[in-house]
Every structure is written in structure tokens, then in C-alpha cells.
Structure 1
């Protein structure tokens, strides 16, 4: 009886009370639509977050977005297609509430998950981010929540509606099992992952079926001196076509003067070395994320002062030599506010992957509140 009382008291001590916080972001973008129309867009997003424990062993992560879009982008054919595209999640938790000329209002649940903890086992149910893999630009293993190295809002990661069961097997090891129903009522995603550490090397093994792809893969991460190194590899079977391989190798280094650099090489066996075989239709529909087979990425950031930072992502399609650069200045104008100025530049020959991507200029300001 005494042990039960002490266990309950320990759980209450560890419990984190439910806290409300959030942010308000305004993003101005000037670019050109895929239909050739120049446009301006103002995206304004209020995010309210509720995180903490509802009871001992039961945690909530709820994030609600309310967005208001303004500008000429709303009159383009591209927006008319995008706004009616079904969400990639199983659960429809978004809707528009205003559509009038150059004004469009919508809201959604960005995250909505409950985590039940019993001893060393966690069960997380709902819309969540399942972060597998080690890639900064590309990740052969992160199929449920794929990253885009040139996304305007890189920190915004689309969640997946899933059940995630994780068991701690030791101080640095765990086993994970995920099940995610398909949004089109097709074959659900299901996979198992094991993660461990030996002699300072993090290792993960993964096997399963994710978004219609049978996959077996692994990732490793470690240090060589002051440099971080990481790699991923996957064997993928799409079911209706030939099997292919994907792999990524990367390294990171932080200099004492405030400069941080990362480099990655990516091989995509599902792509084409000949630009005539590029699947642009699949790229526009977000069914595929990369068209070619060989890529290189470089990230660099430099802190001029603790409040002013320069960040750049550069991507090279090695097969067709097209290039993309996303460069930004991040200024912390207040302890709870960031101002960002950014430019995206795309170059390449006719028919290359990045030749048709429009240049863009953006300004973002984001306030955080608690």
C-alpha cells in the first residue's frame, strides 16, 4: 500500500499542468503562380496551443490554427486547385469559413493527440509528428511526414493521424510501432522501428508499409571529432513497379566564430537521370517529392549577433544541374518576436527540375505568447 501511495505521489510530482500558449504570424509573399500569373499573398495565422497533463499519465497536445489569407494569389488558378485539394490526413479536421474575393478564411487542428503513459510504455493517439530519420534536406525513412528543403515554412510539418506505441528498452533504446489509416480508405501505414546506441553511435532499424510503399531501412548518427555525421538507407517496393533504393549521407560542423554548416548527398532510385522522364504531374500533385536521382544540399547559418542570424539552404540537382537557393535574415526584434526577410532563387536549363519554379520574396513576422 505504501508503495502505491509513493508511486502516485511521484506521478503527481512529475505531472505538467496544462498550459496555454501560441503565436501570431504574418507572412507576405511575392511570387508567380504555376499558371504564369504574378501575385502577392498575405497569410496571417493565429495558433493557440494547449499542452500538459490532464491527469497523471495522460498528456494532451492540442494546437488550433485560424488563418486569414489576403491578396491577388486568391484569384489565381493555382489557388483554386490547391484550396480544394483534400488534406493528406485521415481525419478531416479543417474547413474554410470565409471566401470573398481577395479574402479567404480557414481553420484546422494542426496537432491533436493524447499520450497515455504506463511505466516505460507510451501510447500516443491522434494527429502528431512522427520524426524518423536524420536528414535535414532529405530523409529516405521519413515517409509519413516528408520534409522539403525549400519549403517557405520549414518549421511547419504536416502531421499524420496515427497510433504510436513506444516502449523504452533502456536508457538509450526504444521500440516503436505505428499504425496510420490512409486518408483515401486505402491500405493503412504500419511499421516498426528499433532505436539503440552503442559506443556513441545511434542506430535505428525500420520495416513496414508506409503510404503504399513497402520499406526496409536503417539510419546511423555519430561524431567524428567535433563533426556530426549521419546516414540513412532504404529499400523500397512500390508494389506496382520495380523496387528501388534511396540513401542519404550528411555531415554537420559548428565553427567557433558562429558559422554552422551542413552538407548532404541524396540518391533517389525512383527518379530519372533524363529530364525527359521527369514526373512533373506527380510533383505538382505532391505524389512525388523529387524528380531526379542525385542531389546535393548545403546549409549554412551565421550569427552576426545573438539577435541577428543569416540562414541559407542551397540545393543542386546533380543530374540536370538546376539549382535552388533559399536565403534568409532572421532578426529577433524582441524577446518574443522574430522578423524574417527571405529570397528564393531558382535556375536551370529548359526542362530541368528547378527551371519552372518561380523566384519568391518573403517577409515574416511572428509573435509568441504565453
Structure 2
């Protein structure tokens, strides 16, 4: 099925592009990671990904965003029980636009459509169909509004966000306002997601209202963002009601400040009404399966970035679970070693008492090399 979907999309893009040339670009990434699996096995993993992107106008009012990934995984991580448990797990999207093509000892090859969407524009109305990023919310660590593409506080590849198979209809209501309607079918005949969003600006304050049903949760939410002098402030709040279960609230409040010296700081507070204050109630199974991103109720996050030189930057993300006092730090050096080429050295450290959220996460060391081409 994945090969069929990929073939149809690529074939359509090729035939349509004969009239309107597409802009081709992409990246080649190699990521080396040393860590420990959830089963207790130390491992090394080399992830190598070629991403080819085709974007542009196929015809007046019709645009394409196509991103194809081909990955090769190497290392003894492929021999761990953790990898065997996750390698064939169904993706969260409606369409199975992925497949593995090689599985031999310490070598595993797979490919997929990372993005595959067509956009039709008529006047002030856009209709986008296919695999896409639904960017609702303003959170850096957590986002109560970003249900379809949830934010994880400490991902290994922070820039990578899973897309949703959806139809997104947007109408511009003015220079800074719009109304949006999203519909996303659920895999395995589950309840589809559908919601509306209104976004506007008044007196220098950006605000959005959201209502609908997303991933089985009835949602009513709001987000605001503004400036107080040189300080950026933002907040989100939602009421979420699963059918057949008790409702709960989530909220996030954040602030950002950039110093003239090149130092940037961001801080966030997060309340997760679906979480547990007691580590005995943590849903570790849901965390490993990707159904939840945070286990506790109260969190704090701090981000710091400093431009050491124009070619060398340091970034650090720190997260505190205020209920069990466990902590996590993700610190990286990003070095631009050449035109469109980045080399990243990073470490993730987790501390906490036995049974706490972050104590269960293994420390990790990583090196990433990424080259962008066009």
C-alpha cells in the first residue's frame, strides 16, 4: 500500500511538473547515537536519512508540497527488544505511506512520505489536502492546542514533526485574521478529528479560539501572544473531554527574551490535568507508544541559546517535573562547518528518584551531520 501511494503521488507530481517546473531541494543527515534501551541493553545507532523535497506551483492556484524520506539504520540497536517492539508499529496517520525494504542483521532500510499535500487557492480561501503540519499553538516545550501534531519537550530530532493526513480549509478574514477548518480521518475506522479555529489580532495581541474534537477529545481552547516591551509573552489553555471519561484542563504560560549579547532565554510553565501527581499512576506504556508526551501534572521548562560566533551556537533545553522533582537536560553545540552544512554535538541527561518520570529515561550522546542541497 505504501509503495502504491508513493508511486501515485510521485507519478502525478512528475506529469504535472512538465508544465510547471518544481523547486527541488532536500537534505542528507547522519545521526550517531549512544544510549541504553528500555530493556536495559546498551546500544549504538547510526541513522542516515536522505530527504528529497519537491515544492512549487503545478498550475495557477495549485501548489504541491512533497517530501520523501529514505532511511538506513545501522548498529546493534536493531538487535534490541525495544527496536523489535517499535519497528512494525503502525504510524499515527490515516494512510500507510511507509514501508521497510531491507532487514538484514544490523541493517534496516525504510522509506516514507514525510509530507505529501496539494494546496488549492481561490481568492482568499486555501484548501490543503494530504499529509501536512497543522501548526496550532505557540508552545516551545508543550502545547495544549497542538493535539494533531503534539509537541514533545525533549525530542531527539527537535525539528522533526509528524504530519497529519488531513484536509485544512483556511479563509483570510483580514490582514491579520483567518478562520480555519480541519478534518482528519482516524486510522482503523476510529473517530475522525474535526475542529475550527479563529485567529485574529487586536491592540498588538494575537489570539486564537479553537473548538472541535481532536483524537477522541472534545476541545475548547484559546491562545494569546503579545509583547511587553522587549519581552515576548504567550499562553494557551484548553478544556478537554474524552467521551466516556472525566474531562480535564491543560494550560501553558511562556515568555521569551533576546539580549543584545546574543543570549536568548525562554521559559514555560505547564499544567497537565490528565497527568498524575503520584508516580504510581504514571502511564509509561502510553509514553513509549507516543500516546502521551508528559506523565505528571506540573512542569517548568527553560531554554537558553547563545551565539558564541556567527558559525557556532550553543542551545540547552531543561525540563523539571515539579511533582516528582525529576529533571532532564538536552544541551547541544551547533557548528556551521560549511555552506549549508551543520555539525551538532549533543548530550541528554536525566536525573530523579526511582519511579520518577525522567529517572526512567537513559542518558544519551549524539552527533549529527546534516547537509542541505538545492
* Shorter-normalised TM range: over 0.9
What aligned pairs does 1:337-348 form with structure 2 within 5 A after superposition? 337-348=341-352
Q: Which residue pairs with 2:95 in the alignment?
A: 91
Match of residue 364, structure 1, among 349, 362, 368: 368
1:113 aligns to 2:117 (yes or no): yes
Per-residue deviation, residues 111-160 of structure 1 (Å, max 9, x unmatched) = 00000000000000000000000000000000000011210101000000
Q: Which residue pairs with 1:148 in the alignment?
A: 152
Q: Which residue pairs with 1:5 in the alignment?
A: none
How far the C-alpha of 1:17 sits from its partner, in A, is 5.1
Distance 2:330 2:229 in 1: 29
Match of residue 205, structure 1, among 203, 209, 214: 209
Distance 1:213 1:92 in 2: 23
Unaligned runs of 5+ in 2: 1-19
How far the C-alpha of 1:61 sits from its partner, in A, is 0.2
Per-residue deviation, residues 212-239 of structure 1 (Å, max 9, x unmatched) = 0000000000000001000000000011
SS class of match (1:147): coil
Distance 2:293 2:334 in 1: 27
How far the C-alpha of 1:334 sits from its partner, in A, is 0.6
Distance 1:302 1:250 in 2: 19
1:125 aligns to 2:129 (yes or no): yes
Q: Which residue pairs with 2:190 in the alignment?
A: 186
Per-residue deviation, residues 149-202 of structure 1 (Å, max 9, x unmatched) = 210101000000000000000000000000000012110000000000000000
Match of residue 64, structure 1, among 68, 85, 110: 68
Match of residue 301, structure 1, among 287, 300, 305: 305
Q: Which residue pairs with 2:293 in the alignment?
A: 289
Match of residue 215, structure 1, among 209, 214, 219: 219
Distance 2:331 2:292 in 1: 25
Unaligned runs of 5+ in 1: 1-15
What aligned pairs does 1:205-244 form with structure 2 within 5 A after superposition? 205-244=209-248
How far the C-alpha of 1:209 sits from its partner, in A, is 0.3
1:50 aligns to 2:48 (yes or no): no
Match of residue 39, structure 2, among 32, 35, 40: 35
**Worse-superposed segment, 278-287 or 100-109:** 278-287
SS class of match (2:197): strand
Q: Which residue pairs with 2:280 in the alignment?
A: 276
How far the C-alpha of 1:84 sits from its partner, in A, is 1.1
Distance 1:189 1:28 in 2: 36
1:254 aligns to 2:221 (yes or no): no
1:314 aligns to 2:318 (yes or no): yes
Q: What RMSD over aligned residues (CA atoms) do the two structures have, in Å?
A: 1.0
Per-residue deviation, residues 260-282 of structure 1 (Å, max 9, x unmatched) = 00000000000111111111122
What aligned pairs does 1:141-180 form with structure 2 within 5 A after superposition? 141-180=145-184
Distance 1:29 1:108 in 2: 22
Query: For this pair of structures, how many residues does the alignment match?
Result: 356
Per-residue deviation, residues 332-352 of structure 1 (Å, max 9, x unmatched) = 001210000000000000110
Distance 1:184 1:222 in 2: 41
SS class of match (2:187): coil
How far the C-alpha of 1:18 sits from its partner, in A, is 1.6
Distance 1:327 1:290 in 2: 20
SS class of match (2:85): helix
Structure 1 moving runs of 4+ over 6 Å: none
